[in-house]
Amino acid sequence: MSAPRQIIMVRHGQSAANQDTTIYERLPDYRIPLTELGRAQARASGREIREKLAGEQVCVYVSPYLRAYQTLDALGIADLTERIIEEPRLREQDWANFQDPAEIGEQRRLRNSYGHFFYRFREGESGSDVYDRVSAFMETLHRHWSKPAYAPNTLLVTHGLTMRLLCMRWFHWTVEYFESLNNPDNAGVHTLVRQPDGRYALDTAFTQWTERTTTDTVLSQVRERL
């Protein structure tokens, strides 16, 4: 197996919906574009990624959302890209079709009370649904890595929640630890780097809004309150 030297993950840059949530009412989520700031953020991340690649080729997996494709384009690494694979399993969490901001705002409040992993949007997915599809995607990755001509690096151009859940699956983090994690910034880069023993380590940890360890469980949290 020719496992890559590193698996680089980048969140899309700032989107029009990050600026104005009412856009969800009139434009499908997957067609929402980047803002000019989002393009600039992606260009800056592209310089960081180019340094990480150090002249080596990279195989790219990109979410089918417009903002992900625009982020990939703005990274400016076409000369190092061995191939691009559109990967629907790396898409954003499905919330609804055309979204009513007031309704979504109420569901966000409920999700904060219920928990981001298990709460299912009424017309969409739960975090656990996204976890299941990134788990299936990881199986595809391992099959691709078994090909001898695979590029020495992997790049995933995706979304913040998807990045956190992929790492949760990869490193076997608990649900309680996942719940403590903040989303990466727009165009934020996190990299899984292969170690001498063949395992991968996350180069930059996700920030946390509350202190939890990777082994905390719902049981340990209940015991803390007793």
**Helical ranges in the chain per DSSP H:** 16-19, 36-53, 66-75, 101-114, 127-145, 160-171, 175-179, 218-225
- Cα R_g (the chain), whole angstroms: 18
Pick the catalytic residue from 87, 92, 125, 176. 92
Contact 176, 212 (CB under 8 A): yes
Q: Are strands 81-86 and 58-62 parallel, antiparallel or unpaired?
A: parallel
68 alpha carbon, distance to own chain's centre:
11
Rounded to 5 degrees, φ, ψ at 189 are -115, 130
Pick the catalytic residue from 12, 116, 159, 190. 12
User: Residue type at 5?
Assistant: R
43 three-state secondary structure:
helix
Question: Active site includes 172?
Answer: no
Contact 220, 176 (CB under 8 A): yes
Question: Active site includes 211?
Answer: no
Q: Which residues are catalytic?
A: 12, 92
